[in-house]
Amino acid sequence: MADHRLRLLVVCTANVCRSPVSAMMLDRALLDRGVDAIVESAGFLEGGFPACATMSAFGSDIGLDLSFHESRTLDAHLVGAAGLVLAMERRHARDLMVAFDRGFERIFTVGGFIAQATTMPPLGEGLDEWLGRVAPCRTHAEFLGVQCDDDVADPHGESKRIHRRAFDHLQIAMDRVADIVAGARDRRVTEGRSTHEAPPTSP
């Protein structure tokens, strides 16, 4: 049986630090809001590496287990299957569109997605419909520049303090993303019920 749940993809450079912990945060936040989705993560570099030890330790403090994470490289299937792709930096969004010819309307930076939903919040329509509604208001210019306000800077290889700052930033951001996705109420997801369950029948 085909799995029709909403799929979300979180992307960073190597898939060892920002994106794996963000995906786990987002998955839990969505479940807390009654949204049964598939949240995945990947990066641009070679896969097969464990999660960043510092970020894993912070994740463990809030009940997230990254000990089994193994980084993976983005591919056309992962990107093509995602209903929403969230990039940590503008350069990631640019590279996604170039490498995979993915629809612009489904790619955002994390900060850009939150900003767009603040300006034009979902009105109860499905996520696909909301993305279609906001698409005419967006331009490719939103992905220009480097080290912009909507980027989540890479803490990998930096101090524990910088990791902590990134972790806290991501925790707040993923909660907000979950609020937006739950508010859009994608038609493939029902609040509090998996798509694997049959809908209630009338007496």
pLDDT tens digits for range 72-117: 999 999 999 999 999 999 999 999 988 887 678 899 999 999 999 9
Where does the chain have alpha helices with state H? Answer: 18-32, 53-61, 76-81, 90-100, 110-119, 127-134, 160-184
Alpha-carbon gap, residue 49 to 99, rounded angstroms: 22
- Tokens at residue 18, please? 């920002």
What is the pTM (predicted TM-score) of this model? 0.87
- Decide: 183 and 79 in contact? Cβ < 8 Å: no
Give me 22's structure tokens. Answer: 């963000």
CA distance 42 to 19: 7
Domain ranges of the chain: 7-184
- Architecture of 7-184 per CATH? 3-Layer(aba) Sandwich (3.40)
Q: Could you tell me the pLDDT band of residue 2, with boundaries at 50, 70 and 90? A: low
What's the rounded Cα separation, in Å, for the pair 56 and 165? 14
Can you tell me which residue has the tokens 């859009």?
Answer: 184
Nearest to residue 81, comparing CAs of 18, 21, 39? 39
Task: Inform me whether the pLDDT recorded for 66 exceeds 80.
Answer: yes
Q: What pLDDT, in 10s, does the model give residues 131-172?
A: 999 999 898 888 887 666 778 999 999 999 999 999 999 999
- What is the chain's length? 203
On whether the CB atoms of residues 106 and 83 are closer than 8 A, the answer is yes
The amino acid at 69: H
Q: Left, alpha or beta for 167 (phi > 0: left; psi -120 to 50: alpha)?
A: alpha
- Dist CA 43 CA 11 (whole Å): 6
Label the pairing between strands 84-87 and 107-109: parallel
